[in-house]
Amino acid sequence: MAIASLPPRPHAPPRVAPPDKGTLGAAAVDALFPSGRAEHRQAFVRHWPALAGQYGLDAHPWRREFFLAQLGHESGGLAILEENLHYEARRLLAVFPRHFRTLEEAQACAAAPERLANRVYCDRMANGDEASGDGYRFRGRGYIQLTGRANYREIGRLTGLALEAQPDLARHPDHALHCAAAFWTSRGLNELADAGRFEEVTRRINGGLHGLEDRQAWLDKVRRVLAAPPAELLLDVPAVLRLQRALQQQGYAELGAADGQVGPRTLAAVARFRQDHGLGPGGIDRRFLDTLASV
């Protein structure tokens, strides 16, 4: 493939710097989470620099990308701050098969969030029995859907927040990001992000791969929104077209139509290709082109 043999043009324009480390501006947050509540978008921007530094979320590019993507899925883009426990009876049979074996059993908890949570979350995660009310008291909240007394207790200890006594703090604009960041690091997710292990990150958060397709879509969106123009090589339009078509042939459909323009969608595809092939973070550099030409 001719892509790998293309040299950089001489007299390339100055490199465009990526966003300052530790910052996530209002424009980016609004673009990522347009459906999010305004007070949460504003608080996210306000608290990000300090929390990203404290929890190492900007120490590696994939940490920030994976973190934002997972939060986007779990919170519906900062719009869903509490677990939705409104289910029809037939849906309960599919979602909670260990707890409901017959339609009659499920009907008792259909459209009854408190009764449902107390049943499915009782006697685990340090919750009391069904009559204790712990299941509903410690239902999923916040950007990472913190669930269970044990998790509220642990994240409360890490953040200094009285979450066990006041669980609604986990969804408060001034604390939701802190709780999510503390949960993230407590589960070793920075290290998994550094290795590009997005599926394993999902398992640590969800216990399985539920919603993986949507999480991947969020990751693509995050990479488009945060993409900075590449600096390593300046390719002409025919070279970019060949690059885009090669990525399409490899299944990187997120770049859309091959148009000869290195825009956010192409950069998102480049980022995923680099992750998939162990190239590490970066843009369209010689290593990327050599790998793309060899596959």
- Alpha-carbon distance of 9 to 211, in angstroms, equals 43
Per-residue pLDDT of 177-228, as tens digits, reads 999 999 999 999 999 999 999 999 999 999 899 999 999 999 999 998 988 6
Residue keyed to tokens 């239902």: 139
Which CATH class, in words, describes the domain spanning 227-294? mainly alpha
Location of structure tokens 């091959």: 258
Summarised one tens digit per residue, pLDDT across range 128-181 is: 999 999 999 999 999 999 999 999 999 999 999 999 999 999 999 999 999 999
Name the β-bridge partners of 141: 82, 146
Output the pTM of the full model.
0.77
Residue ranges of the domains in the chain?
26-78+173-211, 89-159, 227-294
